[in-house]
Chain A
Amino acid sequence: MTRYKRQDPEITRRKFINVAMGTTAAVGGVSLLSTLGAANPVFRLTANKMPPQAGDILVHAQESKEGQPIRIADLGPQLVRAWPQGKDENGDPVIRKGDPNNILALYRFPKGQLVAPTNLDATIDGETVAYSDICTHAGCSVGDSDINAGEMKCPCHSGQYDPKRGCIVIGGPPPRPLAQLPIKLEGDNLVVTGFFLTYPYPYTNENEWESIKKEVEAQRT
């Protein structure tokens, strides 16, 4: 064996073709990868996709009554689903159901039943409370439990929540309680007074939630 590798003074035809083909394949591959970018469309935060925010009124989400403002008398210890309704760029009312994660769960319990960790300042008279109705586990809409009355159950992987105690997780895989939405009564309407108190589904950390809040604020002004 020699220690020296024979150096060809000239580039061979074979080598040239190999390099040319390799380069073509690499460029082609990378350009194909760029089409993957096109697979992911640009997201525009339009009024109907914004999360519920201060000034929104709550309207029924149930199909037969969709869009009708919710009255306090409509509520009780059974879950009522609601959409936030805000204003679009022209000031026309728009139901924010472009993002299905905006669906809300409303409850009204006799006084004294709602307890911490529910934020009672964010409820109406310590009786009426609003939560995000999207399970923090896999994003399904949560309903009233058919097993234990007074609890909430997600049909997808049987996550359970307690709506009287800030919707804390009392069973199943969800990682976090449902986010509470601060509301107040204004005339007959239920009005949102701010953003969700904690980050709701589909956000996985505080930062994402803060940045979407900032984006919404920026568009409001």
Chain B
Amino acid sequence: MNQWLDERLHISRLNDKFLRKAFPVHHSFFLGEITLFSLIILILTGILLALSYEPSNSMVVNSFDPGTADKPNLIPAAYHSALKINAMPFGDMLRRIHHWTANIMVAAAVIHMMRVYFTGAYKKPREINWWVGMLLLIFTAFTAVTGYALPYDNYAYNTLKVIYSIAASLPWVGEWVSQAAFAGKFPGDGLIPRVYGYHIMLLPGILLALTAAHMLIMIKQKHTQPQYAKRIAYKKIVGVPLMTQQTPIMLALTLLFAGIVVLFSAFIPVHPVEFFGPPSTTPIDNIKPDWYLLWIFGVLAIIPSFEIHFLGGVINSEFVGAIVVPTIALLAMFAVPMLDRSRDNLYYAENPTNYPVRLGLGVAFMALLIVWSVAGYKPELISAGILSNANANAVLWIATFLVPALCYFAVQAIVRGIRSLREADARDRANFQAADD
């Protein structure tokens, strides 16, 4: 059969080109794979969910609690179908697996990018793949957000309303953009069909295309080599081939990962639609976005209010907090390869402690995002008595500048310590050898 296939599909060429691709043997290289497996699990569970989901915000009678003939209990069809999915065998489980995997996909992508950043793997010739990766991260976040709008419970409704209003806060074009994006004035009749289209067609399509590009570029450019490869075979690709060595490792990882996700889903509920109830005018106390958007939420919570009327447009705190600040943060991440002045191709992953400035800046950036995420808990901090209404903003703004700066200098100090220890080791070794001679 091999020969039959080979004569038609030239399997041996495929084998030489792709299936023999060498994978570095180091656990930090699994992070990208976990992101990829998450995407696959998301697509599979997403298809199953789509089979039972009704993308419509028209009102239907709640079949679980129909009310009376003259006063029927009407709820949006999308919310109703979410209730029905929960009532299916393993339906709730399916939703939880989908939701948990989405969270893990973002987490794995973020940690994967941290690995790439701290080891300098974004450097020439891999700048393009860093940018493709950034786009993947952004579109993953968009996909996640449109996803948790779909059950159309009160939580989703409030989330959508805020996203709509963030889009509408763009100066001059905001109103038009938000209406075009969300099918008319909020909540238009076409709202859920529109978001559904984004979530199951447009965004997954973009994600798949970007993932394909990401992988092809990675195969073409090869992985960066871990440091040990430099010692055992300088300037040679070291690793295990995709077929047949890496494949079982990947399979084992997939199964382990899927097992963990299922375990999570079995015991830790996410997004309980029954708890939030159908869309209503009653706000949810202390509603929060998912963890990866909490920093934007935090910025909005501590930004002072202002409104500048400029040439007929309005520039307000919402636009600055929810669009300008995140854009600057993302642009800074996009700019990472351009700030690097090395002209040579990078083959080996760098030791982060050899690049203390880069390490410090990366840690400071993450510290900043963490401070802002904590700011997202401002109401809780005030309720708990840790901060007061009067000082909350001031304290959180001081932390915004102070904590990243402290982190940066702490990293410098620690790196210096590590280096002096390393140098002492080297001296000892030299002395030892001298004594031997």
Interface residues of A (CB under 8 A from B): 36, 39-41, 43, 49, 61-63, 81, 99-100, 103, 133, 137-143, 146-148, 153-160, 169, 171-176, 202, 204-205
Contact = CB atoms under 8 A, between A and B. Distances in A.
B184 A41 contact: yes
A158 B303 CA distance: 11
Given A155-B287, A158-B301, A172-B301, A138 B383 contact: no
A77 to B, nearest CB: 18
Contact of A81 (B185, B282, B300, B318): B282
Contacts of A172: 301, 305
A195 B154 CA distance: 29
B321 interface: yes
Nearest to B309: A205
Interface in B290-337: 297, 300-301, 303-307, 309, 314, 316-318, 321
A40 B379 contact: no
B429 to A, nearest CB: 57
Contacts of B297: 157
A174 B305 contact: yes
Given A146-B285, A173-B305, A175-B307, A40 B317 contact: no
B190 to A, nearest CB: 6
B211 interface: no
B244 interface: no
A103 B176 contact: no
A147 B301 contact: no
B386 to A, nearest CB: 12
B190 A139 contact: no
B158 A140 contact: yes
B285 A143 contact: yes
Interface of B: 158, 161-162, 164-166, 168, 176, 179-181, 183-188, 190, 280-287, 297, 300-301, 303-307, 309, 314, 316-318, 321, 378-379, 382-383, 389
Given A103-B281, A147-B383, A156-B287, A173 B321 contact: yes
29 contacts: A40-B179, A43-B184, A43-B185, A49-B185, A61-B281, A100-B281, A103-B281, A137-B165, A138-B165, A138-B318, A139-B165, A140-B283, A142-B283, A147-B383, A154-B283, A155-B158, A155-B379, A156-B162, A156-B287, A157-B301, A158-B301, A158-B379, A160-B389, A173-B300, A173-B303, A173-B318, A175-B306, A202-B165, A202-B168
B48 to A, nearest CB: 29
B300 A139 contact: no
B379 A153 contact: yes
Given A43-B185, A103-B281, A138 B316 contact: no
Nearest to A133: B281
Nearest to A101: B186
Nearest to B73: A63
Contacts of B186: 100, 139
A159 B285 CA distance: 13
B389 A148 contact: yes
